[in-house]
Amino acid sequence: MKLGFPWRKTKGSSHPIGADPDADLELLLDECRRNLPRCDEALIRKAFQFCVQAHKNDVRESGEPYYTHPLEVARIIVSEIPLDDVSVCAALLHDVVEDTTYSLEDIRAEFGSTVAEIVDGATKISGIFRSTELRQAENYRKLLLALVKDVRVILIKFADRLHNMRTLEHLSPERQQRVARETLEIYAPFAHRFGLANLKWELEDLAFKYLNPTEYNAIKQALAETRSEREAYIACFIEPIAERLKKEGYRFEITGRPKHIYSIYQKMQRLGVPLSELYDLLAVRIILDTNENKDCYTVYGIVADIYEPIADRFKDYIARPKKNSYQSLHAAFIGPEGKRVEVQIRTRAMHEVAERGIAAHFRYKENQGNGRVPSWWNDKELEEWANWVRDIFESAGDEAPEQLIESFKLNLYQDEIYVYTPRNDLIILPKGATPIDFAYAIHSEIGNHCIGAKVNGKLVPLDHKLQTGDQVEILTSKNQHPTSDWERICVTHKAKSNIRKYLNEEKRRVVELGKQLWEKQLRKLDGAPTQEQFDRMLGKLGVSNPNEFFYKLGLGVLDVASAVQLLRGEPAAPSLPAVEVQPTTTLPERLRSSSAVILEGDHPTIPNLLYQYARCCNPVPGDDIVGVITIGSGIKIHRRDCRNIAEMGHALQARLVNLSWAPQSDGVYLATIRVTGEDRSGMLHDITNAITGYRNTNIRSVNIDAFGSEFEGIITLYVENLDHLNEIFGRIKRIRGVRSVSRFNG
């Protein structure tokens, strides 16, 4: 059983829909003749008759013949998202494969490959949010892939969902809530992304009607009570503007623009005020019949000559279109009686895109030998839409389903900002985006190696929120890599998915290293352990599965030799409570088992000295050091003057061991320094040059905060020993404007 509605008369028809299939077909054909540039009536007649025959045994929950649903979807495609006759045909057939005994090959044989592929795409994505999170994510991927193949698939799904929402009253309250929620969270944002403004607004209002009927009815009633008053005021506001535009010779349409119930509710919630205190319910739209964008600015000047403009409410989406190609001037003026009125000014072509989005660009051309093929692949704006979808689809990779869904929801429906590269190339990002998002928007490798940024010539930290008009320069280092913190900082799907991809690959490398260490150790045993012995060992270690075991071996959190002791049933070394280790650096920095440090005194309970350098103070050869015994992590090595050691005091005494550096401590070590000084142009460049210019020192990360004319920077770098670090200190101190350089003790 499907969504349904009672028999009713439809606007423009003289009979109840569903009462007479022949009359229904003639109604559809009449609408096609009026709205489509051309119409293959024979094709549509054939599709309609096939639809009626296929669904002859199906009824809707209202008892109505089921064919009325695909008929109404086709009418939406004709009248509200005008496409073409092929789309009308596919809309009539969109449920046939899913709900009847006919197959896709039957559709292909009767109507050709193009119609069959559109129907196939609509069928594959019809189960979105119908089952588990995994099904949701998989169906989302199918939707995106189908969209890349043919945009008509998603447009038919929009029409399908719109008709379902218009007929939602016959479902149970529980199903109404579910359908309304997924409409508000998924379909309306998708419609927004593809520029289908009218469809988006109706989907939002219908969903809101069922999700919050009390608020919906209260706002609707309040608007109805003040409607005549608002209409009279708008007429008064419009009159002098219309007179001036006629005098200037413009051809135009000027009307009051209705505010939608859900958008009013959102603003009430955002501002925390009742409807009576909202001052921008009055809105006007001016549509110019012109091909000159500059006329929009001239008309803005005319309106500003009549009414006082509100300076901070002017937005130019003509010079800087939204990502879905929306263009218009948005402004606000003080009208009669001191009331604020919002005004939109756009050309007729801009209005078509604003109302119908991607469908406004949908055109076809004749291609000899191949029939009709979509020319939208050659349309720059539509190609950008397709690229956006393709980027999300291809970067999804093996993300967890809940992460995929969260990212899509986040990126579908956000306000946008407009920022620029140093070459003044425009980058459009969601509001709240950071330099990390900007870096990944340029290229994934730039994102992976981003160490900092300069915004409008000033150093900023990676979590800095970018604003429209900012010019952003990304600073990179080959030794920089994403960390888990980055994912919390960034907001775009592209950035989050690339960061997750890198971290997952890093984890796989650690697991592989752990396997190699384990296999190497097993080769030394007399015989391979049984599965029972292995499982018993995992239980004693508190590890849930082999992959987690190998991961901890690779990190060095678990000691291979101790694990073998447990495998043999021998008692493990005495231990202290476990300390969780979060891997945030590359493998060589996490844990070492070489002879870089020497354990002083006799400690037989510590097998095969394993140690890890504490991240809070990052000791390097030459520092006075001390060790803290832990379980799994071996010994944590701190500088003796580390603040954490001092603060723990007597509580650590029983766990402290004296350490010294071996005579030959080869390799490089992480050190973190704090630099303060004057925030002048070129400062970060001078600092990084001073570091990298000495013995090719590598920088791992840079985090800069600016305070007025001052800055503070935390820089992590690789050094060989304390002498190396002291030389870096000296080079930085000689830079003009640097106030201080010191070790950073986190």
- Annotated catalytic residues are 98-99
R_g of the chain computed on alpha carbons: 33
> Which residue spans within 140-258 are E strands per DSSP?
252-256
Residue closest to 186 by CA, chosen among 393, 413, 400, 358: 413
The contacts of residue 137 (CB under 8 Å, 6+ apart) are 399, 401, 402, 404, 405
β-pair type (710-719, 699-707): antiparallel
Angle (deg, nearest 10), helices 152-166 and 113-124: 50
Helix axes 113-124, 104-111, angle to 10 degrees: 150
Torsion of CA 679, 680, 685, 689, to 10 degrees: -90
Cα separation values, 142 from 180, 187, 338, 541, Å: 22, 15, 52, 42
**If phi over 0 gives left and psi between -120 and 50 gives alpha, with beta otherwise, what is residue 75?**
alpha
Q: What are phi and psi of 112, to 5 degrees?
A: 95, 170
Helices (H), 248-368: 261-271, 294-306, 348-356
State whether residue 578 is helix, strand or coil: strand
Tokens of 500: 């997750």
Torsion angle in degrees (nearest 10) through CA of 315, 320, 322, 323: -160
CB-based contacts of 642: which residues, under 8 Å, 6+ apart?
614, 616, 617, 745
Amino acid, res. 729: F
The residues near 508 (Cβ < 8 Å, ≥ 6 apart) are none
Kind and range of the H or E run holding 25:
helix 21-35
Q: What is the 3-state secondary structure (H, E, C) of 431-452?
A: CCCCHHHHHHHHCHHHHHCEEE
Task: Judge contact between 640 and 625, C-beta under 8 A.
Answer: yes
Query: What are the distances in angstroms from CA 521 to CA 560, 592, 611, 612?
Result: 7, 17, 19, 21
* DSSP structural state of residue 185: I
Nearest to 96 by CA among 108, 85, 84, 86: 108
